[in-house]
Amino acid sequence: MLPRTPSFRLDGRRALVTGAGRGLGAATAAALAQAGAHVTLCARSCDEIEEIADAIRNEGGVADTLTLDVTNVTDVQKALSERSAFHILVNNAGTNRPKPFVEVSSDDFDAVIDLNLKAAFFVAQTVARGMMNARQGGSIIHMSSQMGHVGGQNRTIYCASKAGIEGLSKAMAIDLAPHNIRVNTVGPTFIETPMTKPFLSDPAFQSTVLSKIKLGRLGRVEDVMGAVVFLASDAAALITGAALLVDGGWTAD
């Protein structure tokens, strides 16, 4: 008999998505729910995640919400330890403060690193402990960026945070492999989201971006949805410590 392709379905699995109120987070939550997962949408803004959760439920999916500031480590540990273990984590919450290197303030640095790297670390640590205690394995996916692999003008803190995520992911993959917990990153190029809209509305900036994306277009949230479902599913059962770049060829040079 021919071998069978492993399933991309996520039925019966519980997923947590941070920064789930808009953009890539909302799309990721929808993608996981459409693949059959029970999705918990997490963000600081209650109204946004409730709206997305309602939309998922209206489509027949299963979703609930968790209003939480993921930069507060104590609150993260308390809130997540009170819930059943997750099978999937998408560490998506993030921010950016583009400035020339010499103009970056201590406040800018702390804001970006605290959310993009420190919060991701401790959310993942708490979720991983739950996975280990439940002895069920799991998939942890960090939303990284092509900027974790290349430099970018006015993006020193952002690049530092995403390069940190790439290193963290590889080290986590080694530590957690004995527990059958896989850890990978997804690295999108510029995706049309509320966070990127202010930059991409500048025609000169958008032209520069498009000149570096070999496929000749900006990314859409749909381009990332499949990558996340793949890494969460049994189809990626032997993939850990890897970076899946969804960058249209930006980093191919």
| Three-state DSSP class for residue 80 | helix
**Residue 253 pLDDT greater than 90, yes or no:** no
Q: How far is CA 100 from CA 30, 91, 104, 167, in A?
A: 36, 27, 7, 24
Once rounded to an integer, what is the mean pLDDT over residues 209-234? 96
Distance, CA of 38 to CA of 41 (rounded, Å): 10
| Three-state DSSP class for residue 21 | coil
H or E segment and range at residue 16: strand 14-18
pLDDT digits (tens, 9 = 90+) for 14-53: 999 999 999 999 999 999 999 999 999 999 999 999 999 9
**Residue 181 pLDDT greater than 90, yes or no:** yes
pLDDT digits (tens, 9 = 90+) for 78-135: 999 999 999 999 999 999 999 999 999 999 999 999 999 999 999 999 999 999 999 9
Q: Are 68 and 91 in contact (CB under 8 A)?
A: no
What is the spatial order of strands in the sheet that 243-246 belongs to? 62-67, 38-43, 14-18, 88-91, 138-143, 181-188, 243-246
* Pair of tokens at residue 141: 């996916």
In sequence order, what are the residues at sequence separation of 6 or more whose Cβ sits closer than 8 angstroms to the Cβ of residue 178? none
pLDDT value of position 32: 98
Once rounded to an integer, what is the mean pLDDT over residues 242-246? 98
Query: pLDDT over 90 for what percent of the chain?
Result: 94
Architecture of domain 14-191+220-246 in this structure: 3-Layer(aba) Sandwich (3.40)
**Residue 195 pLDDT greater than 80, yes or no:** no
91, 123, 158, 236: the catalytic one is 158
Tokens 């025609």, located at residue: 203
pLDDT value of position 100: 97
Query: Is 158 in the active site?
Result: yes
